[in-house]
Chains A and B, each alone.
Chain A
Amino acid sequence: GNSVTQMEGPVTLSEEAFLTINCTYTATGYPSLFWYVQYPGEGLQLLLKATKADDKGSNKGFEATYRKETTSFHLEKGSVQVSDSAVYFCALRPPSGTYKYIFGTGTRLKVLA
């Protein structure tokens, strides 16, 4: 079946540190991949997406590359800020024919000033 596995948190970093949050997936065919961010008390917001192998999604300094060979979609940012503190969810949408997004369990990021 389809699934998403994220690294467990919390991840605690100092401001301006480099961030990596690992995400691997299991799916048949070529799913679309997403990163969502959730701030306290709010719903999820789309951060970035990639719809085919080797695509790189990017937004607000965050990047993730769709790696078919390693079935991964790791989230990276070169220099985190305190305002990046949130929970990050990796998600996949299976290939056409279904609309059930599969979300990971989320990784909490804490950035200290």
Chain B
Amino acid sequence: GAGVSQSPRYKVAKRGQDVALRCDPISGHVSLFWYQQALGQGPEFLTYFQNEAQLDKSGLPSDRFFAERPEGSVSTLKIQRTQQEDSAVYLCASSLVGAGTTNSNQPQHFGDGTRLSIL
């Protein structure tokens, strides 16, 4: 597609349920980032993939959060046993080149996000 696509746009879940959020990056983009954006705040880094390799997951808040990108394209962010504090917008971004390369200042292209509400 032309841009980064995220689904679903909105997700409501009861506390304790598991959720899965999907990100379709721009075709051919090497880098993929997940961010968490709380209401009225800026995005906070969660994790980074270079192709299928998860190079950094230091931003994941707890072991309930898990992300994968098995074929180096589509990525899924999974949250197990959701808590109310997980309510936020989850943003995915992709970038053409690897973050450690010479042109790593290539811009990140963001999806519209998934708004997750935990009741």
Task: Say if A and B assemble together.
Answer: yes
Chain B: interface residue total (CB-CB under 8 A): 26
Q: Please name all residues of chain B whose beta carbon is closer than 8 Å to the beta carbon of A103 when the two chains form the complex.
A: 42-44
Q: Is the interface of B mostly helix, strand, loop or mixed?
A: loop
**Is A24 among interface residues, defined by CB-CB distance under 8 A?**
no
Q: Would you give the 0/1 interface string for A31-74, flagging 1 where the beta carbon is closer than 8 Å to chain B?
A: 01010100001111110010100000000000000000000000
Across the interface, A44 reaches (CB within 8 A) one of B6, B41, B43, B56, namely: B43
Report the interface size class on chain A.
20 to 34
Q: Please tell me if B17 contacts chain A, counting CB pairs below 8 Å.
A: no
Q: Is residue B113 contacting chain A, with contact meaning CB distance below 8 A?
A: yes
B65 at the interface (CB under 8 A from A): no
Q: Which residues of B contact A (CB under 8 A)?
A: 4, 6, 31, 33, 40-45, 48, 56, 59, 91, 93, 99-100, 104-105, 107-113
11 contacts between A and B (CB under 8 A): A43-B110, A43-B111, A44-B43, A46-B109, A93-B104, A99-B56, A99-B99, A99-B104, A101-B33, A103-B42, A106-B42
